[in-house]
Structure 1
């Protein structure tokens, strides 16, 4: 299906405010790829981008009547309730198209329209995210004035399972009511059980069916189950003999490798001292996780992890603010003095002999390449592969691999295979060499520490 071209207004907006010469592309998918070259889109997402660009031209349009406009805004607000961007987590030109149309509308909204009980909370959050996030990099002289602390009505997070069940019940109730209204409803359609034969007339049967349908709809509204119609008989289903479930084959265990460790570029959005531990910092870090990922939350429109690091007194707090780091993202989360930590920040320190304090410093954070983005995969040359979802603490994978993490004389971070006997082997087949730590944008480095350990 061919994409609808970008309209002149959006092209003009991109030319003035967006990076990467995206205005030169009239196709929304190509414009998205120009804006976000490291993002890939599925065929379904490509079609969705084009559809959202079309939709954006109608959302908030002054030519729409008030009822239609409110319906469109409500639908968009619901869509964004569980998404960071319109695609979920991936940015696209569709987000900018919506911002272009909605920014002047949101500017004129009252506090009640923005964050009241019936307000468009998620649209306001999306507008604030697009105009301020470095992900989009919009150059805007005038932004929508949004006070994130001025929230009139705090909405509860949506329970996806409960929402699905609610919609299912609404459908069933609507079907029952429709059948009753047409005079074709029977106890079978309402209860799933066959009705017993009787001598009741058609009118009486229809009346009973309509009453049952009304009760079914009422049960959805009140959340209370209703009794089955008096004509319906409940039959106990004969219990089927349980068949033994086939055993699932044991998962194939991946061989030991640095690639099992999920290393990513992280962007520290803020860091502060732990309220209950003098040695810890608590950082809010964007690691490229999609919305809804376990052990994440949302901060300033981005999906983030909370990370506790034993760096207080070793790294100045100001060096932890608004900077890129390398994070280990698949260690099992641990609670440190009341705060759950969902990742680890990689840092280098001098090697010490047995008996010395291994945490005395100095300490330097590992620096990803300047052009690297939050969520970019970080890996060692020669050890590419898919990481584990979560490292099993019992298997001691991190403890086995970490001794090979080192820095070179040229201040690059690498993996020294000789430091891990399980991988290096012995004799004539012994493996040697250092695989450098890198992203697609280049190598990871430290500032001054040579031959240091990294953990």
Structure 2
């Protein structure tokens, strides 16, 4: 497998500014996997990472003339016009390498160079995204100052479909011009390479076969009409159809045993919250949950990948208490549309247990607090129940509905999972789990403010 060594200056940059001890790896692919453990790279993407590292070394080389530098910057700007990262959606060390080289230059650019009609809008956006996004998690003392409101010339977003159609029309126009001038070749007309001398293309061979078959059928018909025998090479009967072999059945996926580890719990950072325009009991929050760029059911807000989340907390928690705070989010429930707005996660909150038939939405309600030092996207799990969560919980299997009754708070105001609250998990013998498993992140335990023995949902 090809390797792509990192130079010393970039390794020093990673050691100072990057998380996950990425500088311990001297190969670009291994460093990318250390930085972004949830990302997987195809062989083509690995090769692209290597090429972009080479580009980063020369993108603003002081030895190049101004025209060559402008050409490289223009090419990168065009590439980023329809991509969040240089690979498209996946982050890699190539993005950080470009940031290392470009940030000092972008900081010196004039407003015209940044966002003028001929400016490098997409490079500026990429630099701002890399330096601020929790996906990269860079620890920077100084950042490039970017004012999103100071845009001199607003460009239209690139429509990938329209761009593909435009290129197709350009090829067709070139082929028409070549045909009119008498210089058309198979490659001019079809956009493919010209067959080598003395050989026919597959399309031409297929055409010859069809023509020969047609002539044979015609001569056969003529021979029969004249009472003669079919000429040599004539088609006399249809080929027998081959018996179709049954397709091998796919093996049924292995079903994971029931466990609270199936729930994808993460630290979320509410960037803003507002009242739902069509529902008095709902808030609509914009929450960073550590998703990679391009993840389904996410969008971008202030340079971060976010989810839109509706929660029935209006009237139970003051709106000001929902602003710029850390919470615990359930991230693998199937998205639901709530009064016209698609909700793509759920905010965990505690409330007192009520007797059957009583109103379980009357309050009080307290949000679950992750450790102060935790970051958006940090994994949240119950001690002793570690494991990989489902990508999306199947609503038909009611996994959340079975597991949630075990979510509780303790007398010490910690959030936990009481296995006795889930009859399906009441095992027997030495392997039987008992007691309350505490909810935690790598930074510590999750808590509530005052509610003891409460239910959490």
Q: TM-score range by the shorter chain?
A: 0.7 to 0.9
Change over 3 Å in CA distance of 1:20–1:253 after alignment to 2: closer
Equivalent residues of 1:305, 1:343 under 8 A apart:
yes
Give CA-to-partner distance per residue, 1:88-121, whole Å, 9 cap, x none.
6676665444234323544566767656787644
SS at match of 2:307: strand
Give 1:49 deviation, angstroms: 6.5
Structure 1 unaligned spans of 5+:
199-235
In the alignment, what sits opposite 1:122?
122
1:365-396 residue CA offsets vs partner (Å, 9 max, x unmatched): 11122222222221111212221121111111
- TM-score (normalizing by structure 2): 0.73
1:380 partnered with 2:382: yes
Q: Name the CA shift for 1:243/1:148 in 2 (closer, same or farther; >3 Å).
A: farther
Matches within 5 A, 1:47-62: 52-62=52-62
Residues 1:349 and 2:351 aligned together: yes
8 Å CA contact retained: 2:132, 2:303: no
Hey, what's the Cα distance between the residues in 2 that align with 1:333 and 1:345?
A: 13
Change (3 A) 1:196 1:261: closer
| Map 1:94-105 → 2, pairs under 5 A | 94-105=94-105
- Conserved 8 A contact 1:4-1:50: no
Structure 2: how far apart are the matches of 1:384 and 1:11? 33
Cα distance in 2, alignment partners of residues 94 and 86 from structure 1: 7
Contact 1:261 1:330 in 2 (8 A): yes
After superposition, what is the alpha-carbon deviation per residue over 1:327-351, rounded to whole angstroms, capped at 9, x for unaligned? 1111111001111001101111111
For residues 71-98 of structure 1, the C-alpha deviation after alignment (integer angstroms, 9 at most, x for no partner) is: 4334434554565444666766654442
Are the aligned partners of 1:77 and 1:120 in contact in 2 as well (CA < 8 Å)?
Answer: yes
Partner of 1:396: 398
After superposition, residues 306-385 of structure 1 pair within 5 angstroms as 306-385=308-387
How do 1:35-74 and structure 2 match up within 5 A?
A: 52-66=52-66, 68-74=68-74
Q: Distance in 1 between matches of 2:357 and 2:108?
A: 66
The answer as to whether partners of 2:333 and 2:393 remain within 8 angstroms in 1 is yes
Alignment of 1:14-413 (within 5 A): 18=17, 52-66=52-66, 68-77=68-77, 79-80=79-80, 84-86=84-86, 94-106=94-106, 114=114, 120-133=120-133, 135-140=137-142, 143-147=145-149, 152-156=154-158, 158=160, 179-180=193-194, 186=200, 188=201, 193-195=206-208, 242-413=244-415
Match of 2:179 in 1: none
- Conservation of the 8 A alpha-carbon contact between 1:368 and 1:445: yes
Shift in Å, 1:62: 4.8
Q: CA deviation at 1:250?
A: 2.7
- Counterpart of 1:5 (choices 7, 21, 27) is 7
Question: What TM-score results when the alignment is normalised by the length of structure 1?
Answer: 0.73
- Equivalent residues, number: 410
Q: Contact conserved, 2:91 with 2:293, CA < 8 A, in 1?
A: no
CA distance in 1, matches of 2:368, 2:121: 38
Contact 2:349 2:456 in 1 (8 A): yes
Q: Is the radius of gyration larger for structure 1 or structure 2?
A: 2
Alpha-carbon spacing, 1:365–1:158, altered in 2? closer, same or farther (3 Å): farther
Supply the distance in 2 between the matched residues of 1:57 and 1:428 (Cα, whole angstroms): 60
Q: 1:413 to 1:24 in 2, by over 3 A?
A: closer
Report the alpha carbon displacement of residue 354 of structure 1 after superposing the two structures with TM: 1.9
SS of aligned partner of 2:206: coil
Shift in Å, 1:279: 1.3
